[in-house]
């Protein structure tokens, strides 16, 4: 059933690669529920190996048969993490440069359009911060986000500070949800975002608005900007990480990065 590899040069290199992959998985998954699930799977595997070596072949064979479906099980359990990992790989610097070269002829027009969008967003969040109005604005790269748009009210409107401010006023029925921007337009408002399951966020004193902002950046290449209704502080989430209490210059830089990708 299980075989212990011989100690030759190739097996040593193989063993070192496994350690390297384990370190990468730890750095990528630490602080999440998925990390403890993966730890449990590794524990079951090594427990089965010990049972087999001790002569408990019947029970170890049962566990082995179950483990044959482990790849399917892992794909189901770690679907958000696998999706985010593939998204990170596909969104590396080389891929971004290739996309920029492809759209080089449209760069000037896109840049001018993005400047207008950035100014509108910055004016809005500055107003929200000064008046302690809670808001969540998510800017997506191109892609299918219908599952998120369908949770809110579709608008397909031009981005402007007046529109954004009217949506997040306390009298508006859409102010509790997120505003979604993609391809230079306001796609929808009042959207419900997936909540991050990172344990480090659960242990910290942050609200649902911030956890949802992190959650949406875990499943899609996006920038989520949050204004706290309690403190007026401006924060943002990117690639599954939360950055709290940032100034408008930092937010502007992040908007430039995602809009010009």
- At 217-228, the pLDDT tens digits run 888 889 999 999
Q: Cα angle vertex 10, ends 6, 15, to 5°?
A: 80
Residue 2 is predicted with a pLDDT of 45
Using pLDDT thresholds of 50, 70 and 90, give the confidence band for residue 1.
very low
Q: How far apart are CA 137 and CA 127, in angstroms?
A: 14
Residue 81 has pLDDT above 80, yes or no: no
Name the least confident of 63-72, 162-171, 241-250: 63-72
Mean pLDDT of 170-181: 89
Which residue ranges make up each domain of the chain?
9-77, 94-259
Q: 51, 73, 70: which is closest to 1 by C-alpha?
A: 51
Q: How far apart are CA 165 and CA 13, in angstroms?
A: 58
CATH class of domain segment(s) 94-259: alpha beta
Residue 194 has pLDDT above 50, yes or no: yes
Q: 81, 75, 216, 198: which is closest to 143 by C-alpha?
A: 216
User: In Å, how far are 2, 5, 51, 53, 54 from 68, measured between CA atoms?
Assistant: 13, 20, 17, 19, 21
């Amino acid at each position: 059933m299980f075989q212990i590899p011989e100690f030759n040069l190739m097996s040593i290199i193989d063993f070192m690669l496994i350690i390297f992959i384990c370190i990468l998985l730890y750095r990528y998954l630490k602080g999440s529920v998925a990390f403890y699930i993966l730890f449990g799977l590794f524990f079951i595997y090594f427990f089965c190996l010990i049972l087999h070596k001790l002569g408990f072949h019947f029970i170890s064979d049962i566990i082995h048969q179950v483990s044959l479906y482990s790849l399917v099980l892992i794909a189901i359990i770690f679907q958000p993490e696998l999706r985010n990992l593939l998204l990170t790989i596909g969104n590396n610097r080389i891929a971004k440069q290739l996309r920029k070269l492809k759209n080089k002829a449209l760069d000037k027009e896109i840049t001018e359009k993005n400047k207008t969008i950035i100014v509108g967003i910055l004016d809005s969040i500055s107003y929200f911060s000064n008046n302690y109005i809670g808001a969540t604005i998510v800017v997506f790269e191109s892609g299918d986000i219908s599952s998120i748009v369908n949770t809110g009210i579709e608008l397909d409107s031009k981005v402007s500070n007046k529109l954004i401010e009217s949506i997040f006023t306390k009298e508006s029925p859409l102010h509790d949800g997120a505003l979604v921007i993609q391809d230079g337009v306001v796609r929808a408002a009042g959207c419900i975002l997936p909540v991050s399951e990172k344990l480090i966020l659960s242990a910290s004193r942050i609200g649902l608005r911030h956890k949802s902002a992190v959650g949406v950046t875990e499943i899609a290449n996006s920038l989520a900007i949050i204004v706290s209704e309690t403190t007026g502080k401006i924060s943002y989430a990117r690639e599954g990480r939360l950055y709290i209490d940032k100034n408008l210059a930092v937010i502007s830089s992040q908007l430039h990065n995602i809009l010009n990708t």
